[in-house]
Structure 1
Amino acid sequence: MSEHLTLLYRGPLSSCDYDCPYCPFAKRRDSPELLRADRAALERFTAWAAAYRHGRLSVLFTPWGEGLVRSWYRRAMVELSRLPHLERVAIQTNASCRTAWLAEADRSKLALWVTYHPGQVGEQRFLAKCAELTALGVRFSVGVVGQPEHLAAARRLRAALPAGVYLWVNAADGLTYTDAEAARWTELDPLFGYSRHPHRSAGLPCRTGESVVSVDGEGTVRRCHFVRPPLGNLYDDSYRAQLRPRECPLGSCDCHIGYVHLEPLPLYDVFAGGVLERIPHGW
């Protein structure tokens, strides 16, 4: 049986067109040199994926900034979606870019993890973008950061979105939610409980380092974004000898793209068929 490898790719890009007060990359601008390096790194990664012959691949782009305003990320999404051995390609995005390019992709394999940022984009403008994605047949989830001041906007968003679009809520960094506060967010996202508290992970088996790895722009492979010791490099195949079952070396995991892979949690069943784009099974 051929393997199925999931890669979380994060290149040097760290610029964004939004200035969310809770984000360290707000309105950050990358130099032309860094943008050229990011483009070259992504094109190298895409070429590697096209030549991959060890089984199936899935890719989630998790840029520090906003990738889809850059032509090379849109092109990479299209090219990867057309690979016969590619099962899913997804990206975390604010969906501020145009959507016409998606018509060129294999939309049975492409998905978007979209974050709504109240105060950065008009509500009707954002909903119109979601309607465009729906009309194009693009698979996507929509979510918000659980800031108290976002609750009313999140409620309006949930009411306006089609029932078939899952709305997720990320617990805000540094916030502790009372049971009453958590209940309000759970009304919008029935899975908010998984985000509310960090998950104890020390010594627990995790799929990262075995069937899931993270990759940076230089091709350095790590088990995940949060465990820094490298496993090898993507481009010399040295990482492959290091793929094996592993326990988490950290005390806790508080990010969805990390704890979703913890084996004791049921999230691979909860999100079956939609782990990368954060869409629950059967939603």
Structure 2
Amino acid sequence: MSINWSILYRGTLSGCNYSCDYCPFAKKKDSRKVLEKDAQELNRFVNWVETRKKERIGILFTPWGEALIRRHYQEAMIRLSQMPHVCKVSIQTNLSCSLNWLENCCKEKVALWATYHPTQTTMHQFLKKCQQLDAFQVKYSVGVVGFKEALREIEEMRQKLPENTYIWINALKKDAHYYTPEDIYRMTAIDPHVSYNLINHISKGFPCRAGHTTFSVNGSGDITRCHFIKVAIGNIYDANFEQNLYPRLCTNDTCGCHIGYVHLEKLQLEKVFGDRLLERIALINF
């Protein structure tokens, strides 16, 4: 039986066209040399995926910066979506790029993590992009950072988006007392699953799909179990690398990021997201 692989890919690209002051990444512009290297690495990865016809593969791009403003990522999404054995291809994006390239995708397989950054764009501009995605019939979810002062605007976003569009909130967890019970009530009305993101989940010693059926890959092809355990366990371009993929227990004390804890078996988040785990699109919103 074919193995189902969920692959999180993060290449060399790290530049972004946004400059959110709360973002610890993407504070620079990538040089032409870096972009050329990133494009070469991405093309090699896509070529490799094309050879893995015995596996049913889902891919989530998790770039440090904004990738979809780069043509090589748009072309990779198009090409991957057209491969019969790739069941889905998703990417984290601020939706600032043109979306016309989506016309060339197999739209049933493409999904976007669309993040709204109110200091970098207007709600009107962002909603216009969401309306384009609706017109293209491309699946997407909308994410926001859960700053208390932004809750009113997030509530407005909830009212203006279609009811079946899932909005997720990335909660701030450094201060355990940051949110009041009223804040949590308001956030839950927007994102009924925000409780999973309000805490750092105890993970050490618990089974996780990371390193078995899901794994992270960098531009060189090096594999880590996930983005948060940095020890390499192989390289996808090596022969028989699959022998390094097997069930494991988490070695970190806690896991507080969705792309990590969603694979913790004890949380059973497949009941919330079903086969849309990579896309971060909940099955039931309300």
Aligned residues: 283
Equivalent runs, 1:64-79 vs 2, <5 Å: 64-79=64-79
C-alpha contact (below 8 Å) 1:15/1:29 kept by paired residues: yes
Q: Which residue of 2 aligns with 1:187?
A: 189
Matched residue of 2:24: which SS?
coil
Equivalent runs, 1:191-270 vs 2, <5 Å: 191-270=193-272
C-alpha contact (below 8 Å) 1:144/1:154 kept by paired residues: yes
In structure 2, relative to structure 1, the CA distance for the partners of 1:138 and 1:146 (3 Å cut) is same
C-alpha contact (below 8 Å) 1:182/1:196 kept by paired residues: no
Residue 93 (1) aligns with residue 129 (2): no
Q: Deviations over 1:141-180 (max 9, x none)?
A: 0010101122121111000000010011011252433333
Matched residue of 1:264: which SS?
helix
Q: Deviations over 1:231-272 (max 9, x none)?
A: 110111353111111000000000000000000002111100
Equivalent runs, 1:40-59 vs 2, <5 Å: 40-59=40-59
Instruction: Give the whole-Å Cα distance in 1 for the aligned partners of 2:266 and 2:180.
Output: 25
Q: Which residue of 2 aligns with 1:7?
A: 7
C-alpha contact (below 8 Å) 2:209/2:248 kept by paired residues: yes
Q: Deviations over 1:66-122 (max 9, x none)?
A: 000000000000000000000110000001001110010001001001110111111
Instruction: Give the whole-Å Cα distance in 2 for the aligned partners of 1:280 and 1:103.
Output: 25
Equivalent runs, 1:151-170 vs 2, <5 Å: 151-170=151-170
Matched residue of 1:222: which SS?
strand
Residue 81 (1) aligns with residue 81 (2): yes
Which amino acid letter does the alignment assign opposite residue 204 of structure 1? F
Q: Structure 1: give runs of 5+ residues left out of the alignment.
A: none
Instruction: Give the whole-Å Cα distance in 1 for the aligned partners of 2:32 and 2:26.
Output: 18
Instruction: Give the whole-Å Cα distance in 1 for the aligned partners of 2:183 and 2:274.
Output: 28
C-alpha contact (below 8 Å) 2:173/2:198 kept by paired residues: no
Instruction: Give the whole-Å Cα distance in 2 for the aligned partners of 1:223 and 1:239.
Output: 13
Instruction: Give the whole-Å Cα distance in 1 for the aligned partners of 2:50 and 2:26.
Output: 33
Instruction: Give the whole-Å Cα distance in 2 for the aligned partners of 1:50 and 1:71.
Output: 19
Instruction: Give the whole-Å Cα distance in 1 for the aligned partners of 2:11 and 2:82.
Output: 22
| TM-score normalised per structure 1 | 0.97
Q: Kindly state the Cα deviation for residue 27 of structure 1 after the two structures are TM-superposed.
A: 4.5
Q: Which residue of 1 aligns with 2:126?
A: 126
Q: Which residue of 1 aligns with 2:274?
A: 272
Q: Structure 2: give runs of 5+ residues left out of the alignment.
A: none
Which amino acid letter does the alignment assign opposite residue 58 of structure 2? S
Moved more, 66-75 or 47-56: 47-56
Matched residue of 2:216: which SS?
strand
Report the identity percentage.
46
Instruction: Give the whole-Å Cα distance in 2 for the aligned partners of 1:18 and 1:25.
Output: 10
Instruction: Give the whole-Å Cα distance in 2 for the aligned partners of 1:276 and 1:26.
Output: 22
In structure 2, relative to structure 1, the CA distance for the partners of 1:119 and 1:37 (3 Å cut) is same
C-alpha contact (below 8 Å) 1:221/1:239 kept by paired residues: no
Instruction: Give the whole-Å Cα distance in 1 for the aligned partners of 2:126 and 2:239.
Output: 42
Which amino acid letter does the alignment assign opposite residue 174 of structure 1? K
| TM-score normalised per structure 2 | 0.96
Matched residue of 1:273: which SS?
helix
Q: Kindly state the Cα deviation for residue 55 of structure 1 after the two structures are TM-superposed.
A: 1.5
